[in-house]
Amino acid sequence: MNSEEFHFKKRYGQNFLKDDTIPKKIVEVSDILEDSLVIEIGPGAGALTKLLATKAKQVLAYEIDESLEEILDHELLEFLNVEVIYDDFLNRDIQQDLKKYTFSHLYVVANLPYYITTPIITKLIEDNLSIEKIVIMVQKEVADRFCAKPKTKEYGSITVYLNYYFHIKKEFFVSRNCFIPRPNVDSQIISFTKKDNLLPLKNRHLFFQIVRDSFQFKRKTLRNNLKKYDLNKIEEILKQYHLDLNVRAEELPLEVFVEIGNNL
Ligand code: SAM
C-alpha cells in the first residue's frame, strides 16, 4: 500500500501495521486450526488479512471505510477465501453473515479500532457466536484492565465481566513505532479463550448489573454502592468469605460477585 496516497481517518482509529513482523506473530499465537473461519474487524490495508487467509479456510472481514476497497481488492487479489463486508461491524447480524459458510472452528483475530474496543468485545459475547479463541490488539492500558487481578487499581467491572467468560492472556507487547501513522499509545496483543465451565448464574442480567453497581464509585464501599439491594443478604454472603460491607468492589474475586448475584 502506498501510504502517501491514502488519507488516514483518525475517527475510524486508522493506525495500520507497517510491516509483516507483527501480523506474523499475531497469526502464530492464534493457533488457527484447519477448517476454520476467522472474523477480522477492520482489515485496513490487509496486512493481517493476507496472513490469516493463508491459515484459515475462510476469512470474513468487516471494514467501515469504503475508500479502502480499491486497496483491499488489490492486496487480496490472490486470496479467494476472503470476503470483505464494507459496513460498521457493530451494526451487523453476524449469525446471519456466517450462515453461508461451513466450518468447524470460529476465531476472531483483529487489530481493533480502539475507540470501540469494549462495544466490539461486548457484541462478540452477546451475539452468542461460539467463538473458540479471540486474539486482538488493544491499547496497552486497556489490556492491563482486562487482565487485572483483584486488589489492583486496574481491576474493574469490565475485568469481572470478561473474566466471567474467558481465560485472558497477554501475548506480546507492540510498540507505537510499528504503526503508520504513529499513535500516542503502545499496544498489547491479548487472547481470550472461552471457559469450559461457566459459573452458573441464576440471572445473568442482574449479576452484571450488580457488578456494575458495585464499581460505580470506586472509592466507596459495597455498603454505599449496593444501597438499593438487600444489604443483610449481601453481608451474610460476605461473612462466608471473612469480609464485611466495608469492603470495596476491587477486593472481590469473580466467585464472590457470582455468589452475591445468585442470592439476591
Ligand atoms: N488491520 C489493519 C492493520 O492492522 O494494519 C488496520 C487496523 S486499524 C487499527 C482499525 C481498522 O478498523 C481501520 O481499517 C478502520 O477503518 C476499521 N474500523 C473502524 N471502525 C470500524 C467499525 N465500526 N467496523 C468495521 N471496521 C472499522
HEC string of the chain equals CCCCCCCCCHHHCCCEECCCHHHHHHHHHHCCCCCEEEEEECCCCCHHHHHHHHHCCEEEEECCCHHHHHHHHHHCCCCCCEEEECCCHHHCCHHHHHCCCCCCEEEEEEECCHHHHHHHHHHHHHCCCCCCEEEEEEEHHHHHHHCCCCCCCCCCHHHHHHHHHEEEEEEEEECHHHEECCCCCCEEEEEEEECCCCCCCCCHHHHHHHHHHHCCCCCCEHHHHCCCCCHHHHHHHHHHCCCCCCCEHHHCCHHHHHHHHHCC
pLDDT digits (tens), the chain, 264 positions: 666 678 999 999 999 999 889 999 999 999 999 999 999 999 999 999 999 999 999 999 999 999 999 999 999 999 999 999 999 999 999 999 999 999 999 999 999 999 999 999 999 999 999 999 999 999 999 999 999 999 999 999 999 999 999 999 999 999 999 999 999 999 999 999 999 999 999 999 999 999 999 999 989 999 999 999 999 999 999 999 999 999 999 999 999 999 999 999
Atom of ligand 1 lying closest to residue 62 CA: 25
| Comma-separated ranges of CATH 1.10.8.100 domains in the chain | 204-263
Ligand 1 site, residue 65, Cβ cutoff 6 A: yes
CA distance linking residue 76 with residue 103, whole number of Å: 21
Question: 14 CB under 6 A from ligand 1?
Answer: yes
Among 255, 251, 259, 260, CA closest to 226 = 260
Q: Where in the chain is the domain with CATH 3.40.50.150?
A: 10-194
Q: Which atom of ligand 1 is nearest to the CA of 22?
A: 4
Report the chain's C-alpha Rg in angstroms. Answer: 21
**Separation of 169 CA from ligand 1 center, angstroms?**
22
Pairwise CA distance, residues 54 & 76, whole Å? 11
Which residue's alpha carbon is nearest to atom 18 within ligand 1? Answer: 42
Q: Does residue 13 line the site of ligand 1, with CB under 6 A?
A: yes
- Atom of ligand 1 at shortest distance to CA of 43? 1
C-beta atoms surrounding 126 within 10 Å: 8
- From atom 19 of ligand 1, which residue's Cα is the shortest distance away? 12
How far is residue 202's CA from residue 261's CA, in Å, rounded to a whole number? 8
63: Cβ below 6 Å to ligand 1?
yes
Ligand 1 centroid to Cα of residue 13, in Å, is 6
Cα–Cα dist 57/35, whole Å: 5
pLDDT, position 19: 83
The pTM of this model reads 0.94
Ligand 1 and 179: CB distance under 6 A: no
205 and 147 in contact (C-beta within 8 Å)?
no
CATH topology (fold) of 10-194: Rossmann fold (3.40.50)
Residue 242: the pLDDT is 96
Q: Whose CA is nearest to atom 22 of ligand 1?
A: 88
**CATH number for region 204-263:** 1.10.8.100
Cβ of residue 52 lying under 6 Å from some atom of ligand 1:
no
